[in-house]
Every structure is written in C-alpha cells, then in structure tokens.
Amino acid sequence: THALFLVFFFTSPSFIGKEKKKNLECEKMGGACKYQNTHGCVILPGECKSRKKHCCRV
C-alpha cells in the first residue's frame, strides 16, 4: 500500500503543478533548463524540474 500511495502522490495534479512551476521560475529569469554538462552555460538561480538540470541563461 505504501508504493501505491507514492504512485498516487507523484501523479497527483498538485505535485505536477509544483514541477511545472519550477521550470516557469527559470523561464521568468530568461533562462532554460539544461543538463549540467552544458558548456558555456551561465547558471541562474531559478529551479528546474530535474536535479540533473540547471537554469541556464538563453
């Protein structure tokens, strides 16, 4: 039952909404979420959905 709860939590609209909001935070700063190995990326303080991505100035 614990696994079912986690599946429900991660697919709930509120969780999905929070993830989208993180990307919007980056986009508002004029950035885009890109993977860490991107060269020449000026990192902005905005959050991205994935921990493996940074908010880079576009």
pLDDT score of 48: 87
Cα pseudo-dihedral 11, 15, 17, 20, rounded to 10: -90
| Span 17-40, pLDDT tens digits | 555 677 888 899 899 998 876 677
What range defines the domain where residue 14 resides?
Answer: 2-57
Sheet holding 53-57, edge to edge: 31-35, 53-57, 43-44
Give the model's pLDDT for residue 2: 54
Those residues whose C-beta lies under 8 Å from the C-beta of residue 39, and which sit 6 or more positions away, are none
How many domains, the chain?
1
Predicted TM-score (pTM) above 0.85: no
Residues 57, 44: Cα–Cα separation, whole Å: 6
pLDDT of 15 reads 46
- Alpha helix segments (H runs only) across the chain: 2-11, 13-28
